[in-house]
Copies of this chain bind each other. A is one copy, B any other.
């Protein structure tokens, strides 16, 4: 199906004349007539009844019109999402199930009509991410560089939000029935966090966490996918993992996993937003405001050494 034909149909239906629609679209009346005829042949229905003074929608045409409009609008949005120069706001997240993506989704749902695209740069190297922001391939990224001094002059990093950690365990785990847990209670329990790239800020985070609270965190080894991780947790009586409180994990219900908040202190992974210092995408401002209005974590919250406290001027 040709979207130009749909556009012609919509205009013709609105104007009630093929002639006028043709004029507007910059083609001949015959071309529009042909496009409609092709549509009608494809759909095996009549869209218009032809009258002496133009065309009028049939019942089928009436039913089809809003759908055609929606497709045409969808095409417009699709094009505007990637239009070189003035494309839609594009933000990089770590994963589509991460808290970052969840928060962006919330924002998008409460601001209908926002042209927001969420993508995932499939690289771990923060320098590549920074370069992508610098080059304008993405408008912002939810990443953290532990040493802000390494940022180029025209890229800056601001605090976005703190992600509170929760323990994720299967039903056979000894901590499975706890309502909440303190970091001290996690001591001597094996915590498995696969897929952490050595040298990354995540590795550093878990290192500090393990040291400060004397925890057994196993952040090495390859990650064979969330399915494997969840299956392992579900069956194991001694392995747990840590997830962000807002992370979206869709596991099969029969896994029967539990998320247990950690308190006193809350453990927070500080998530930052990397964006251009000059001429950021205009759609970014309301999102930064939205982040600033998220409910903050309690005062008793542990953070890694490189966490920066939010500064008003940056928001």
A residues sitting closer than 8 Å to B (CB atoms) are 1-4, 43-45, 59-60, 62-64, 66-68, 70-71, 74-75, 77-79, 81-84, 87-88, 90, 117, 119-121, 132, 137-138
Contact = CB atoms under 8 A, between A and B. Distances in A.
Contacts of A79: 43
A119 B58 CA distance: 10
Contacts of A2: 1-3
B120 A62 contact: yes
B121 A84 contact: no
> Assembly of this chain: how many copies?
2
A78 B59 contact: no
A138 to B, nearest CB: 6
B67 A74 contact: yes
Given A74-B74, A75-B71, A117 B3 contact: no
Nearest to A7: B1
A43 B88 CA distance: 14
A291 B105 CA distance: 33
Contacts of A119: 59, 62-63
21 contacts: A1-B3, A2-B2, A2-B3, A3-B3, A3-B71, A43-B82, A43-B83, A45-B84, A59-B121, A59-B132, A62-B120, A63-B81, A63-B88, A63-B90, A64-B81, A67-B81, A70-B74, A70-B77, A71-B71, A71-B74, A71-B78
